[in-house]
């Protein structure tokens, strides 16, 4: 069995919560998202941040789920951004896949099969 060591200082420190991202994972920072975006050739706009917020909120509301269902998340994002164009709109913001790429930026683990190493992002 593999044992994972955890730094006690990480466990006892007071979490810093960004008021603009109240549902963000505790180890997530806006600067991390900006760095990842630069590495992936994205310039983050307010529209990108809105998707990141929506994604983090979805994950918080589904925290009790054993597994985040890709289809359910796909449908929820399509519905949430329906006025803007749904998934077509999200693909314009996140050409690396609106779920796979935005999960990386939001500090979240993408659902199973959101990306396929042999093919690339599928969601």
Cβ atoms of residues 55 and 108 within 8 Å: yes
Tens-digit pLDDT profile for residues 77-108: 999 999 999 999 999 999 988 999 999 999 99
Q: Which tens digit of pLDDT belongs to each residue from 9-68?
A: 665 655 567 788 889 998 899 999 999 999 999 999 999 999 999 999 999 999 888 888
Write down the pTM of the prediction. Answer: 0.78
The span from the CA of 63 to the CA of 68, in Å, is: 9
Alpha-carbon distance 30 to 71, whole Å? 27
């Amino acid at each position: 069995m593999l044992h994972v060591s955890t730094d006690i200082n990480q466990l006892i420190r007071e979490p810093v919560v960004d008021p603009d991202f109240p549902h963000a994972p505790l180890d997530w920072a806006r600067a991390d998202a900006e760095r990842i975006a630069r590495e992936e050739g994205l310039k983050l706009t307010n529209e990108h941040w809105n998707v990141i917020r929506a994604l983090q909120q979805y994950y918080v509301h589904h925290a009790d789920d054993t597994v985040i269902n890709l289809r359910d998340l796909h449908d929820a994002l399509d519905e949430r951004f329906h006025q803007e164009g749904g998934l077509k709109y999200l693909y314009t913001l996140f050409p690396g896949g609106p779920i796979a790429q935005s999960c990386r930026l939001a500090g979240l683990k993408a659902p199973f099969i959101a990306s396929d190493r042999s093919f690339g992002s599928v969601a």
